[in-house]
Amino acid sequence: MAEPQRPLQDRAAIVTGGGYGIGKEIALAMGRAGANVALAARSAEKLEAVAEQLRALGTRPSVFALDVREEDAVRVMVARTLEAHGRIDVLINNSGIAGPTALARDITGAQWNETIQVNLTGAFYCAKHAGAAMIAARRGAIVNVSSNAGRIGFPLRTPYAASKWGMIGLSHSLAAELGPYGIRVNALLPGAVQGERFDSVVAARARSIGKPFQQLMGERMGAVPLRRLVTEREVAEAALFLASDAATGITGQAFSVDGGDRMQ
């Protein structure tokens, strides 16, 4: 009996921030589904390690060491992905930074600008250029990785929360613009995700407000109905669903993967 075709077989996907964490898991999920993944991030070494795993899955990955804040670099990445695969079917805008943990009055303009530029402006550049290729093909799916912080207030993380609210607005607006060309755009909102990044965020908050790390972690768990952190793999599977033909009727939506977490 023939092996069933994988849902993204021979399609081309760009995953930014694909070297570690959620981005790495999304890239591997795309690879397991048969996609040829273009990995983008500032660290080429981490991307190469993920690319090796993708090759082992029988796909043809490519690596782009770039800063998504630089539009020319994004334009080149999109052009080279088209040259290599003749198409761009999926864009996962995952690149992002945590930004400062401080009261808004203590945050510098440089800290604000860096967070907005990496988390939001970079996503705009990628959607602008990959979207143009999708318009020409009259097909495609864009998934913007926002955050639960894009729906609730987030004291001490104002630049991050503002950038993630912006990702939802970007998604809704692009969905309206690109829908007539058969292109779907959705936002994915992870909550508290198990891993080093979340631990570092909680640790920074603990230092800022003078509470023990374990106390804050316990408060977080108490606010999640599932009583656990979601995993990077669970977020990746949701991204794969939104990128696949299983979600062809879904656009302009903001999907939370957070265990029901609504803690501010």
Q: Are residues 238 and 110 in the same domain?
A: yes
Residues 146 and 20 in one domain: yes
b/e string for 218-257 if b means 16 or more Cβ within 10 A? eebbebbeeeebbbbebbbebbbbbbbeebeeebbbbbbb
Residue at 264 is within a domain: no
The predicted structure's pLDDT at residue 248: 97
Per-residue pLDDT tens for 9-28?
999 999 999 999 999 999 99
Q: What is the pTM of this model?
A: 0.91
Phi and psi for 196 in degrees, rounded to 5?
A: -60, -35
Tell me the average pLDDT across 42-52: 94
CA pair distance 173, 188, nearest whole angstrom: 15
In a domain, 17, yes or no: yes
Cα 259 to chain center, whole Å? 18
**Which of helix, strand or coil describes residue 144?**
strand
Taking residues 192-216, what's their average pLDDT?
76
Domain identity same for 16 and 50: yes
Tally the residues of the chain.
Answer: 264
Residues 91 and 175 reside in one and the same domain: yes
Say how many C-beta atoms besides its own lie within 10 A of residue 107's C-beta.
18
> Are 28 and 105 members of one domain?
yes
| pLDDT-based confidence at residue 2 (cuts at 50, 70, 90) | very low
Tokens for 174, please give them.
């692009």
- On whether both 107 and 204 belong to a single domain, the answer is no
**Alpha carbon distance 62, 71 (integer Å):** 19
Residue with tokens 């029988």: 58
Residue at 68 is within a domain = yes
The residue range of the domain holding 206 is 193-229
Q: How many domains does the chain have?
A: 2
Task: With a cut of 80, say whether residue 199 has pLDDT above it.
Answer: no
Does 4 reside within a domain? no
Lowest-confidence region among 31-45, 48-62, 108-122, 213-227: 213-227
The catalytic residues are 160
State whether 159 and 216 are in the same domain: no
* Helix, strand, coil % over all residues of the chain, rounded to 5: 55, 15, 35
